[in-house]
Amino acid sequence: MKINIYKLRFSCSLFLVFFLSLLLISGIHMGFIVLVNEYRWHTAVQILIPVAYWALIAAAMLILTNKSIKNSFEKPVQKLAEATAKVANGDFSVYVPPVHTLEYHNYIDKMILDFNKMVEELGSIETLKTDFFSNVSHEIKTPLAVIQNSAELLRKEPLTQEQAEYADAIYQTSKRLSGLITNILKLNKLEKQTILPDKQTYDLCVQLTECALRFESIWEQRSIEFEADIEDSVYITADRELMDIVWSNLLSNAFKFTEPGGTVRMIQHRTEKEISVTVSDSGCGMSRETQKHIFDKFYQGDASHSAEGNGLGLALTQRILTLMDHSVSVKSELGKGTEFTVHIPIESVANNDE
């Protein structure tokens, strides 16, 4: 059944309340006039009393009007704005209750109902998109593994220089595509919350060291100076495997955007409130506009390095840290490098830190 929200309704009870209120207000006013005339008060008093009376009436009406506007307009619009901000950040589970019942819908209710319907449709589309990526990725993994293994075997055979270049191109491209699919599946599971963190107590400093050493061949090959300032031992309680992805992504980005001869630093610091791990580079840096989107899926601010990544590393990093109740911040300036800092609250630091 279609409800006509634009149909004007005449409320007899509301009319009666207004009519009696105005009669009462006017009656009190006439009472003041009779009173001042009977006692023959000074003319200034005769003018001042009605003016003061109507000033109080005006103030009372203003307060009631403001309250009515706030309840019927400002609060619903504020809730709608807050819900819109959540949707803009990717949360499609929001719902805004209408102000009135179905019988008394107004324009604000119509906006809220349309908004709820829109969010529901967006949520369905997002679910469909996520399922599509997941299903397609699973289907691609098997033939891609065959291509990668075949290309790797082919590289071991005696080939001409041109054939070797072709085989290497096939292997590197299939390897990059395999990494993309792996990240898509991980991100998909994290967003669906099908991955529950397997928290355990481990030495963060050992993990940072092991992760950094994986990039040793890269910094030696490109003559990049790598500096590390890490404590001997700091124990935290977190999912070790997922946190390993975080450090690998941050270091991979740092080395990717650092030119030969540049510097990459990894600094771990402890305060009373948190453990912080900073990964910085002396690379090309980012503009403010780029910094607003670096945690978006498939976003790549520097097109010159697009062949070296897939735009999912930082999105995956942020999702993991959110799952761990940790956070990440970024500082960057064009031409002066970039600095990512992971903040681990002190609650995650194990008591058996030795």
Tens-digit pLDDT profile for residues 9-46: 555 766 777 778 878 888 887 887 777 777 777 777 77
What is d(CA 348, CA 204) in angstroms, rounded to the nearest whole number? 11
pLDDT at 307: 44
**Cα→Cα distances 337→185, 188, 260, 270, 308, Å:** 31, 31, 14, 24, 18
Q: Is 337 a member of any domain?
A: yes
Neighbours of 227 (CB within 10 A): 10
Q: Is 204 a member of any domain?
A: yes
Q: Is 193 a member of any domain?
A: no
**Residue 47's pLDDT band (cuts 50, 70, 90):** confident
Please give the residue range of the domain that contains residue 213: 199-348
Q: Is 241 a member of any domain?
A: yes
90 touches 129 (CB < 8 A): no
φ, ψ for residue 238 (rounded to 5)?
-160, 175
pLDDT at 276: 94
pLDDT at 79: 87
331 touches 273 (CB < 8 A): no
What is d(CA 232, CA 266) in angstroms, rounded to the nearest whole number? 14
pLDDT at 5: 44
Q: Is 336 a member of any domain?
A: yes
- The domain spanning residue 221 has which CATH number? 3.30.565.10
pLDDT at 101: 62
Secondary structure percentages of the chain, helix, strand, coil, to 5: 60, 15, 25
- Residue 113 CB contacts under 8 Å (≥ 6 apart), including other chains: 98, 105
**Residue 338's pLDDT band (cuts 50, 70, 90):** very high
Q: Would the pLDDT of 219 be above 70? A: yes
**Cα→Cα distances 140→143, 184, 240, Å:** 6, 12, 28
Q: Is 188 a member of any domain?
A: no
**Residue keyed to tokens 């997941």:** 134
Q: Is 216 a member of any domain?
A: yes
What is d(CA 353, CA 203) in angstroms, rounded to the nearest whole number? 8
pTM summary value: 0.57
Q: Is 111 a member of any domain?
A: no
What is d(CA 293, CA 300) in angstroms, rounded to the nearest whole number? 9
**How many residues belong to the chain?**
354
Written as one letter, the residue type at 137 is: S
Question: Total structural domains in the chain?
Answer: 1
pLDDT at 52: 84
Would strands 263-270 and 235-239 be described as parallel, antiparallel, or unpaired?
unpaired
Q: Which helix (H) or strand (E) holds 164?
A: helix 161-191
268 touches 205 (CB < 8 A): yes
**Mean of pLDDT over the chain:** 80
Number of H helices, E strands in the chain: 10, 7
